[in-house]
C-alpha cells in the first residue's frame, strides 16, 4: 500500500504517477462534464467494499493535552454493521455495536449493554470530536442530500471539485456540507459541515489515503468540532483489510457481550 498525502507521491509511486497523469488526461474531457451525483458515485467507489477490518487510533487534542484511544474495527457494508472494541488500558474491553442507525455500548466491568438514545448520537464518541452520528453515517449522502458542483479549487496542491450538498431529509445530520474532492482519486480531502443558520459546525480533513485494491481509502483524518474551542481529533487506521471474509454473527448482541 502506498501512502498518498495531499501533495506528494512516494518515490516508488513514480510509475503510478505517470499512469495516473495519463489517465487524468485521457479522462479530462469526461471529468469536466461530471455531475455532482457522478462525483459522489466515484467517491463511493473508493468505499466500495463489502467488509473492512482495521486497527485504529483516535488522538483527541484538547489544547496542549492529548488523549488517545486504540481500537479494533470490523465492519460490513451490507446493513451498515460494525463492531468496535477498545484496546487502550482505560477502556479495555469496551465495545460498540452499530447496526443501521442503532448503537449499543458494552461495558465489560459492569457486564452491561446500554442502548445509546437518539439524542446522544450527536455527542462526541469517547470524548472526541467525532460524534456517534458521524461514525454511523454510511454511504448515504445521495439519499439525504442534493449535490451540485459549485466550482474547482486547488487544495494542498491537488486539483479538486468543490461540491455543495444541501439536506433533503430531516434526519440528515448536517443542513449543508461543502466538499473538496480530488479530481483524480475522488478522495474528499476536506469537508465542512454547516447548520441551518450557516454556522460552521465541523471540519474534516483527510491527512492521508492509502491505495488498497485499486481504491483510494482515507486512513488518516482530522476532525474539528467548531463548537469546541481549541479541540480536534485525529483518527488513523492501520492494517486495513478490505473484503476480508467476516462472520456475520459477530454483529450481534451475543458477540457484543462476549
Partner 1 sequence: MRILKRSSAATPLLCIVLAACTVAGQGLTFSGSMISDLMLLHNYRAEAGDEADFSGTGRLSLTFRNTNRRYGKVEGDLEVVTLYGVAAEAAAPESPAGFGALAANGAARLFSLGNAPVLLDLRRLYLEFYLPFADIAVGRQIVNFGKGFVFSPIDVFTAVDVFDLDLRRRGSDVATVRVPFGALSGLDATVELPVAGNRFSAAAKVFATLGAYDVSLVGIYRHPGEDQMAGREGVIGATFKGDAVVGLYGELVTRLVEGQRDIYPEAMIGVDYSIRNRWILRAEYLYSDYRWNERAWGEHNAFVSVQYIANDLLSLSANLLYDFEHDIALGTALARYNALQNVNLEAYVRGFSGITQLPYDFAYGVRAEVSF
In the complex, which residues of this chain contact partner 1 (CB under 8 A)? 60, 62, 65-68, 89-90, 92-93, 99, 102, 108-113, 115, 117-120, 122-124, 127-128, 131, 227-228, 231, 249, 251-254, 257-258
Q: How far is the CB of 117 from partner 1 (least distance, A)?
A: 3
Rounded CA separation 91/3 (Å) = 30
Q: Is the dihedral of CA 234, 98, 49, 175 positive or negative?
A: negative
Residue found by looking up cell 467488509 in the block: 51
The minimum distance between CB 116 and partner 1, in angstroms, equals: 9
* Closer residue to partner 1 in complex, CB, 19/227: 227
Q: Which is nearer to partner 1, 22 or 253 (CB)?
A: 253
Question: Angle at Cα 145 formed by Cα 139 and Cα 148, nearest 5°?
Answer: 110
CB 220 to partner 1: min, Å: 20
From the CB of 33, what's the least distance to partner 1, in Å?
42
Please, which residues have CB within 8 angstroms of residue 167's CB and are 6 or more apart in sequence?
A: 144, 145, 174, 175, 176
CA proximity to 246, closest of 238, 236, 255: 255
For partner 1, the closer of residues 131 and 221 by Cβ is: 131
| Choice between 102 and 238, CB closer to partner 1 | 102
Q: How far apart are CA 102 and CA 121, in angstroms?
A: 9
Amino acid at each position: 500500500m502506498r501512502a498518498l498525502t495531499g501533495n506528494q507521491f512516494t518515490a516508488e509511486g513514480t510509475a503510478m504517477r505517470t499512469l495516473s497523469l495519463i489517465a487524468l488526461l485521457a479522462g479530462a474531457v469526461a471529468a469536466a462534464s461530471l455531475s455532482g451525483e457522478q462525483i459522489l458515485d466515484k467517491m463511493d467507489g473508493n468505499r466500495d467494499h463489502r467488509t473492512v477490518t482495521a486497527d485504529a487510533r483516535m488522538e483527541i487534542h484538547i489544547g496542549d493535552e492529548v488523549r488517545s484511544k486504540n481500537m479494533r474495527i470490523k465492519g460490513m457494508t451490507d446493513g451498515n454493521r460494525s463492531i468496535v472494541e477498545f484496546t487502550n488500558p482505560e477502556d479495555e474491553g469496551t465495545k460498540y455495536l452499530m447496526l443501521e442507525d442503532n448503537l449499543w455500548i458494552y461495558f465489560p466491568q459492569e457486564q452491561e449493554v446500554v442502548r445509546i438514545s437518539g439524542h446522544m448520537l450527536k455527542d462526541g464518541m469517547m470524548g472526541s470530536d467525532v460524534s456517534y452520528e458521524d461514525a454511523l453515517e454510511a454511504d448515504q449522502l445521495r439519499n439525504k442530500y442534493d449535490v451540485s458542483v459549485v466550482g474547482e479549487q486547488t487544495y494542498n496542491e491537488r486539483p479538486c471539485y468543490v461540491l455543495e450538498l444541501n439536506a433533503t431529509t430531516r434526519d440528515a445530520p448536517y443542513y449543508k456540507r461543502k466538499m473538496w474532492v480530488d479530481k483524480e482519486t475522488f478522495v474528499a480531502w476536506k469537508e465542512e459541515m454547516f447548520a441551518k443558520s450557516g454556522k460552521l459546525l465541523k471540519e474534516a480533513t483527510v491527512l492521508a489515503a492509502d491505495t488498497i485494491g485499486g481504491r483510494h481509502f482515507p486512513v488518516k483524518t482530522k476532525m474539528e468540532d467548531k463548537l469546541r474551542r481549541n479541540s480536534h481529533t485525529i483518527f488513523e487506521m492501520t492494517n486495513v483489510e478490505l473484503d476480508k471474509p467476516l462472520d456475520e454473527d459477530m454483529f450481534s448482541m451475543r458477540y457484543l457481550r462476549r
